[in-house]
Amino acid sequence: MRAVVLRAGALIVDEVPDPVPGPGQVLVETVACGICGSDKQALDHTEDFLQASRDSGVSTFEFDPGRDLVLGHEIAARVLAAGPDTPHTEGQLVVALPWAVDHAGRVHGVGFSNDFPGGYGERMVLQAMALEPIPEHVPPQVAALTEPLAVGYGNVARTGIGPGGTGIVIGCGPVGLGVVAALAERGVAPIIASDPSALRRATALRLGAHQVVDPAERDPVDVWRAAAESGQLLHVWVCAAVPGLLNDLLYKVPRETTILQVGAVMSDDVIRPIVGIYKDISLQMCMVYPHEEYARTLGRIAEGSIDAAALITAEVGLDGVAGALAALRDPEDHIQILVRPNG
């Protein structure tokens, strides 16, 4: 099959072996795959990315940089072949939590494993129990937004926030916009969204933010102070990977704020814990969210409670992936770029 391969630090379109499903797995063809910030990190900071996996003991994101790697984990796909031990049928359109299990029982992150190629290729092997059928009326390329939006919705759900709570969202890519939509769904007010991109700020307003901020012009915490009522507690979702930002927030936010770090800063980052201690700041690093939020997010897309299509700003074939990744390094003109390997 054709795929975009990370090889010797570069992205190359080449022929690679077709993946072969094992027990409890299905073979699918990629319909659409979103380009994620973690894909850019694996490309731009390969050794730091791998060292983080080693240091944390999380093997799901380990791969051999000396072997070909096919990235891509924000997936919509069509089932090509399903074994008798799976409930899926040929031709079925699905989205998928991006994981698979090898013959030894080891869990791999699809798109971050040499043995389980991701959505920057024509075909993938996925774990059958990780699939969710796409409702017939939902375009599969729109359903591909399920994974990043679910990260946003899920990391709001884990807090239990509701009416009376307030939120700042820093970084309005697909994950941050999912946070904005989730806060709006829960009646949180005010919601302040911060991003350098005018396009992303405008989209945050459409999804329910009450005010948006260009951080080069105004500080989102100052905007929040002017908008919030006395005594309201603050939650901050940091969906940007900016070194130094977390420490800056410790100084700026009020007492008893909860900060949720979603954006993956790859380098060491210095904070002054005593400032957060004196202010009773709660800090949560966010990786796993409630599993049920994935299917719920697909349901939200299906019912139209979030306009996921509005986040798609471009689509490319395999030959356009390298250029799309370059464009997303300066994301003024884009929110989500989809890879469509099969046209």
Average pLDDT over residues 329-335: 87
- Nearest Cα residue to 12 out of 319, 316, 314: 319
Q: Over 90: is that where the pLDDT of 332 sits? A: no
Q: What are phi and psi of 133, to 5 degrees?
A: -65, 140
Q: What is the pLDDT of residue 19?
A: 95
* Residues 30/121, Cβ–Cβ less than 8 Å: yes
pLDDT tens digits along 64-91: 999 999 999 999 999 999 878 889 999 9
56 Cβ neighbours under 8 A, 6+ residues apart: none
- Nearest Cα residue to 168 out of 57, 260, 38: 260
Tell whether domain 159-285 is in CATH 3.40.50.1010.
no
Q: What is the pTM of this model?
A: 0.96
* pLDDT > 90 in the chain, percent: 92
Domain layout of the chain by residue ranges: 2-146+290-339, 159-285
Residue length of the chain: 343
Pairing of strands 93-96, 191-194: unpaired
* Residues 105/270, Cβ–Cβ less than 8 Å: no
Q: Over 80: is that where the pLDDT of 141 sits? A: yes
CA pair distance 4, 11, nearest whole angstrom: 6
Q: What is the pLDDT of residue 13?
A: 98
- 246: helix, coil or strand? helix
Q: Is 16 exposed, middle or buried (0-12, 13-18, 19+ CB in 10 A)?
A: middle
**CATH fold for the domain made of 2-146+290-339:** Quinone Oxidoreductase; Chain A, domain 1 (3.90.180)
Q: What is the pLDDT of residue 167?
A: 98
CA pair distance 332, 62, nearest whole angstrom: 31
Q: What is the pLDDT of residue 295?
A: 97
Residue 331: pLDDT band with limits 50, 70, 90: confident
